[in-house]
Amino acid sequence: MENLIAKAKSLNAEGVSCFAYTGSYHLPLKTFTKRIIDDVVYIEEIIGVGEIAISDHRGSQPTIEELTRLTSDARVGGILSKKAGIVNVHVGRGKNFVGPLIEVVKKSDLPIAQFLPTHMNKGKESMFDEKGNFLKLDVADVCTLFKEVKDCVIQEDTR
């Protein structure tokens, strides 16, 4: 973590904008200050948490409670420091796909836009529903009110 921050600071000093995430693929997270909130607030280059693995056999299988807590900490750190406080999430090919993110949103007051899911294009079977319709999972604002994954299904563009 120290080397990452040093490199980010070095690049910024050279005029190249560089930002970083605190954390790691596995839980418990590796942080610089031992607290997510403090990393985001006190380290200028840190804008959120990442890359947390979900639905992936190589990940640490975080619980909904763990995901909720770390997302809340990232959000609070972001609010206090006027940064994104985003949580970068590696979505594996596992059977739950984005289910853990949906559960966090359903069971808390955290917005879906707090997550930045990545690597979702690895398996097309997880990107489509049983009818072949593309799952609309744009976390920016499209699925903010979904109750189930099926609520985010749209018809495939036939143009």
Give the domain range for residue 81.
Answer: 2-152
Residue 103 lies in a domain: yes
Strand arrangement of the beta sheet that strand 86-91 belongs to: 20-22, 46-54, 86-91, 115-118
**Ranges of residues in the chain whose predicted pLDDT is under 50:** 124, 138-159
Quick one: pLDDT at residue 127? 55
pLDDT attached to residue 85: 95
For residue 58, how many other CB atoms are within 10 A of its CB? 11
Number of domains in the chain: 1
Residue 53 lies in a domain: yes
Instruction: Report whether 113 contacts 144 (CB < 8 A).
Output: yes
User: pTM for the complete prediction?
Assistant: 0.76
Q: What is the pLDDT of residue 102?
A: 87
Shortest CA distance to 94 belongs to which of 66, 69, 119, 65?
Answer: 119
Q: What is the CATH number of the domain that holds 7?
A: 3.20.20.140
